[in-house]
Structure 1
Amino acid sequence: MMRTIKYKTLDHDYYRQALALRNKVLRKPIGKDIYSENLSIEKDNDFYAVLMDNKIIATFSIFVEAPQVAHLTAFAVEPVFQRQGMGSKLLNYAIEDLKSKNFKQIKVNARSTAHEFYQKNGFEDIGGNYHDNRLGLDGYLMIYEIK
């Protein structure tokens, strides 16, 4: 059974699962380890996930960047579930949640490999391509206008 949830870092089982998924999908492929990072910056974030049999198969985090502006980060989908609509489903769930809280925009620093996904889901580029020195990746700053 699949379901979509919202959770916090205090939901230890879900957060632990999310960290493992993010490490597998976002950090290991670029030779980094999420557990060596300062994760305390996430303590107030909202997290969203798609669960299958109570196991996280897709997740990301949202923090408030400015009044009515959310910033999406750390979007990871289990590889066997990629390109099956899980990410779009999760994104739509979060957009509805943010809309209900009167947010007007969602920003994301999209990796080049995810650029097309965000475009397909209504995000637009703000400026051009940039290089993230911390992660050693190219990306795009993108924005979604919540209507």
Structure 2
Amino acid sequence: MERIKYESNSIIYQESLMLRNRILRLPLGKDIFAEDLSIERQNKFYGILVDKQLIATISAYDEAPSIAHVTAFAVEEAYQKMGYGRLLLDFLVTDLAESGFKRVNVDARATAKVFYEKCGFIVVDGPIRNEHLEIDDYKMSILL
């Protein structure tokens, strides 16, 4: 198992798009490749490799000075509920804290709310309808 950081111009990023599409979009009848992905070019990307295969991905962007926003968090189904998601989120949060961020926000799907609470995030608002994905989200936050 290897934790990595990667860029939007890498092969790993292309693998992350496939993973995100399988886990986050296709179950909702959506296709990530129909979206404008140029908005995430400057994101910070993190992943976990097992046997050189990307099994988990997450990214964050600068929402405001010293505030990051987590997005695009997906773990391959066969590796869910095994601690990899928590390991990856901790890796991201630690890196952001070391980079000077003071708070991390996330729009968590209702199905992920309890996971984020177990990781120290608190609900700030919600549920709020995500019209783009047609699901309910919770605005959540953690102080670093």
Q: How does 1:80-99 map to 2 (within 5 A)?
A: 80-99=78-97
Residue 68 (structure 1) aligned to one of 55, 66, 69: 66
Measure the CA separation in 2 of the matches of 1:91 and 1:85: 10
Measure the CA separation in 1 of the matches of 2:41 and 2:100: 22
Aligned partner of residue 42 in structure 2, secondary structure? coil
Q: How does 1:39-54 map to 2 (within 5 A)?
A: 39-54=37-52
Code of the residue aligned with 2:84 in structure 1: it is M
Q: Which residue is equivalent to 1:4?
A: 3
Q: Which residue is equivalent to 2:114?
A: 116
Q: Which residue is equivalent to 1:100?
A: 98
Aligned-residue offset at 1:128: 2.4
Aligned partner of residue 142 in structure 2, secondary structure? strand
Cα deviations by residue, 1:43-89 (Å, 9 ceiling, x for unpaired)? 10010001012211000111000000000001000001000000000
Q: Which residue is equivalent to 1:58?
A: 56
Aligned partner of residue 41 in structure 1, secondary structure? helix
Measure the CA separation in 2 of the matches of 1:128 and 1:52: 35
Measure the CA separation in 2 of the matches of 1:145 and 1:41: 25
Residue segments in structure 1 that go unaligned for 5+ positions in a row:
none
Measure the CA separation in 2 of the matches of 1:96 and 1:120: 16
Measure the CA separation in 2 of the matches of 1:36 and 1:139: 21
Measure the CA separation in 2 of the matches of 1:51 and 1:103: 25
State the identity %: 45
Aligned-residue offset at 1:90: 0.5
Measure the CA separation in 2 of the matches of 1:77 and 1:62: 16
Measure the CA separation in 1 of the matches of 2:141 and 2:24: 21
Residue 128 (structure 1) aligned to one of 126, 130, 138: 126
Aligned partner of residue 82 in structure 2, secondary structure? coil
Measure the CA separation in 2 of the matches of 1:122 and 1:114: 13
Residue 17 (structure 1) aligned to one of 15, 18, 32: 15
Measure the CA separation in 2 of the matches of 1:87 and 1:77: 6
Residue segments in structure 2 that go unaligned for 5+ positions in a row:
none
Measure the CA separation in 2 of the matches of 1:22 and 1:49: 12
Cα deviations by residue, 1:105-131 (Å, 9 ceiling, x for unpaired)? 000000000000000000000022111
Measure the CA separation in 2 of the matches of 1:47 and 1:55: 16
